[in-house]
A and B are shown apart, each in its own frame.
Chain A
């Protein structure tokens, strides 16, 4: 594709969306050179902020005509560099498209523009006794459009599943400006599940401009436990024991010693003991009756696996306090080291203990600081490597170590990314999990949606 972002093109874009909604000043474009992952910096050629489906369609048609690639962007909270564009491409950002078109309590549905913030949807649904289940850790800022692009997860996926479970229909705009309506509750769509394949396509197929999602009734009650362990593996064993007992918690989250120390040293100190090796957050939700029994069963599992201490939240404040250490972990690393490499591999749950052992060993071998935060219930690991980019030797070791960590996870039957997406960052690992034929089919699937190759080029596929 020959890029030609000329001044005529930007003038056309301004004519479509209005002058103030097209950013071309190189200094202002710097803010868009990274998303939530700062390892990559690529300032785009321009940023366009459309207001609705029609705007997006016209903008895309204009850019397609000029053969300028498009990169969709929501709140820029992604952790795989998926929302980065080069100087020859244009970012089409959705923050102006932040309208909740309607909440339909009768059908437990909501229709949204893509720029709606995940947490805002739950706020809007709450008066109806409903909420939106997928809750990625960045839910206070990330957009539903971004959630669709990444098929976002979160700590409560163990029981409730990921974004694709909740999206029932989409309006999407393809690169040439064509508007397609896919799926929708209340109808059996003929043919292939294009809604399903669009979710998680990381902006490589098109832009979702309207999103229909399912809402759930707010659980009547929750029980939250925090268990402390002197061995990281014991925490992993406790997770297995809970699952083996036939319990299905809403969340099972582990943070390790390094992470606890980072949080406790930050302004968000949560009161976790800093000398334990692991803290396990367990949450049950549902009907009040019987929840105590489940919580007690889980507590028993923790004691059996050698927990040192188990705390139980008695109020909503206490519940938030128990979660604090988990929720603030990512930000707290910012104060510990200049750079952070976030991994996102997933392994079958039963392989957790051995994989954790291997990761620790790799960290030691390369002399790196590793901090583990993970969704233990679904085997989604976030080993974070804390380092300093300006140290070339350390940077090299980080890259070597992360490749080895990936290899260990894939070897254990896992995958390279559970919820952050491939983006720019993990393209190099794609061949570890997919055969040439599969990659070829993925390429062809993209091509079916985007025969022009104009949508978010250079992402996902190696």
Chain B
């Protein structure tokens, strides 16, 4: 389906130097959500790296069932990277391995079709319009309820779509209540002016680029809108170049490296044209992908330097807000919990910023989520392609969320919001997954900041 010309089996071989540092110590095993559930070392980072090495060494054929299955079964959550004492760049290797796997044995038609859609803005818009209609009409939610479990892909897809709708935020935490004692609670006093940035080392950039994203733009327009308002309230003017495209994360995660590169080139050109020093991304998966452009295009003579330059400019929304200090809005008397998106925590190493963002909201009670660092099972298309396993992982996540008795779970990635949201929907939990910026936006709105 993809990749003209390039012998993809060589791609992995070319990354041999990335494979060698793995000393086979096994410290990654317990960090891996699939190993912890499947108990097979082939479903662990070490095992997958070993399979990759076996391909490179010519010991196994990448078309072999085992290679296909286990490489495919990886969530790509990269929880193994922070625990690896040798610093193996697992995420990068996985993308090459996926490319090798896909070249050896094409993916199912619906994945190929889906990825194709993401590459063509016109079709993308059509699909998203249809999706929004399904969602708005309530058919998505209805479908998720009535479709039998065995049609998992469709059922899950509709549930995720339905869960993306949001809508409960306006009612969240309106009633004043006594401050709880045990958990961390945001500052009591509301309203503040833009924090003085004179004491900061860096100069606040006035203009920043903003990635609209594809799913984000199509299904989470409210998050993008909130992002724009919150950035503006904090003194940043956001520009969204119209020529930008999908970030390509889904493509590289699915082994379509050429497709990902093509999209990367489009985005590089688009943001170069926008003349900004910073590119803000509000979706963890997209941010991680864009921070990986340099690696992705390292061998591209024309784009290597440009990719490296743009990579330097990518920041997660939470990073930029927290770095320069945030204004405070009105109190939200609600108990929420935070689930760390893997591609923010593990891939980008951003742990504290989103929490600080939430702590800036007066009276918001933030309770710790057990296993927050573990993947929710959403993992891009994983929730759809690996139904059973994704649901087992997702179900543990939902259990942990319900245990916190939170009124909403906050996470900064559309895939996670939908997957967790679907899980909550199936449970009839009555709470939503929301983006941190939505909460900040709501607090600002109630505070009359705009």
Contacts and interface: CB of A to CB of B under 8 A. Distances in A.
A and B touch in the complex (CB under 8 A): yes
Contacts of A301: none
Interface string B39-58: 11110101100110010000
B26 A75 contact: yes
B67 interface: yes
A118 to B, nearest CB: 10
Interface in A31-48: 31-32, 34-38, 47
A30 B26 CA distance: 15
Contacts of B44: 31
Contact of A331 (B20, B25, B41, B54): B25
Contact of B85 (A25, A95, A331): A331
Interface of A (DSSP majority class)? loop
B110 to A, nearest CB: 26
A360 interface: no
Contacts of B84: 331
Contacts of A429: none
Interface string B16-46: 0000111111111110000100011110101
A328 B85 contact: yes
A28 to B, nearest CB: 5
Interface in B65-104: 65-67, 70, 83-88
Nearest to B38: A20
A31 B51 contact: yes
B1 interface: no
A120 B44 CA distance: 18
A31 B47 contact: yes
| Residue from B35, B65, B66, B86 with most neighbouring chain A CB atoms (10 Å) | B86
B114 interface: no
B176 interface: no
A249 interface: no
B100 to A, nearest CB: 14
Contacts, number: 105
Contacts of A35: 24, 26
Given A27-B67, A31-B50, A32-B41, A117 B26 contact: no
A157 interface: no
Interface in A323-351: 327-328, 330-335, 338, 340
A34 B54 CA distance: 13
A315 interface: no
Given A27-B64, A333-B23, A266 B30 contact: no
Given A25-B65, A31-B46, A334 B39 contact: no
B50 A75 contact: no
Interface residues of B, number: 35
B64 A77 contact: no
Given A268-B85, A328-B85, A30 B59 contact: yes
Contacts of A334: 20-23, 85-86, 88
Contacts of A289: none
A138 interface: yes
B25 A138 contact: yes
A141 interface: yes
B48 to A, nearest CB: 8
A117 B35 CA distance: 13
Contacts of A266: 86-87
Contacts of A236: none
Nearest to A140: B27
- State the majority secondary structure of interface residues on B: loop
B183 interface: no
Of the candidates B24, B25, B42, the one having the most CB atoms from chain A within 10 angstroms of its own CB is B25
B23 A268 contact: no
A141 B27 contact: yes
Nearest to B43: A31
A23 B42 CA distance: 10
Contact of B30 (A28, A117, A333): A117
A244 to B, nearest CB: 34
Given A34-B24, A332-B86, A23 B59 contact: no
A96 interface: yes
Interface in B101-156: none
A65 to B, nearest CB: 25
B60 A36 contact: no
A331 B39 contact: no
A25 B66 contact: yes
A312 B39 CA distance: 41
A385 to B, nearest CB: 14
A76 interface: yes
Contacts of A32: 41
B66 A330 contact: no
Contacts of B88: 334
B81 to A, nearest CB: 10
B371 to A, nearest CB: 12
A31 B42 contact: yes
A335 B87 contact: yes
Given A138-B27, A266-B87, A27 B47 contact: no
Nearest to A76: B26
Contacts of A25: 65-66
A142 B30 CA distance: 9
Nearest to B66: A27
Given A27-B65, A31-B41, A77 B27 contact: yes
A140 B25 CA distance: 11
Nearest to B88: A334
Interface string A104-132: 00000000000001001000000000000
B23 A30 contact: no
Contacts of A142: 26
A76 B47 CA distance: 11
A332 B59 contact: no
A287 interface: no
A226 B204 CA distance: 40
A23 B46 CA distance: 17
Interface in A41-96: 47, 49, 75-77, 93, 95-96
Interface of A: 21, 23, 25, 27-28, 30-32, 34-38, 47, 49, 75-77, 93, 95-96, 117, 120, 138, 140-142, 266-268, 327-328, 330-335, 338, 340
The list of the 6 closest CB pairs from A to B, nearest first, reads A331-B85, A334-B86, A27-B66, A31-B47, A334-B21, A77-B26
17 contacts: A27-B60, A27-B67, A31-B47, A35-B24, A35-B26, A37-B24, A49-B39, A75-B26, A76-B29, A140-B27, A268-B85, A330-B85, A332-B85, A334-B20, A334-B22, A335-B86, A340-B23
Given A27-B54, A138-B26, A331-B86, 18 more contacts: A27-B65, A27-B67, A30-B50, A31-B44, A36-B23, A38-B23, A76-B41, A77-B26, A95-B29, A141-B30, A142-B26, A268-B85, A268-B87, A331-B27, A331-B84, A332-B86, A334-B86, A335-B87
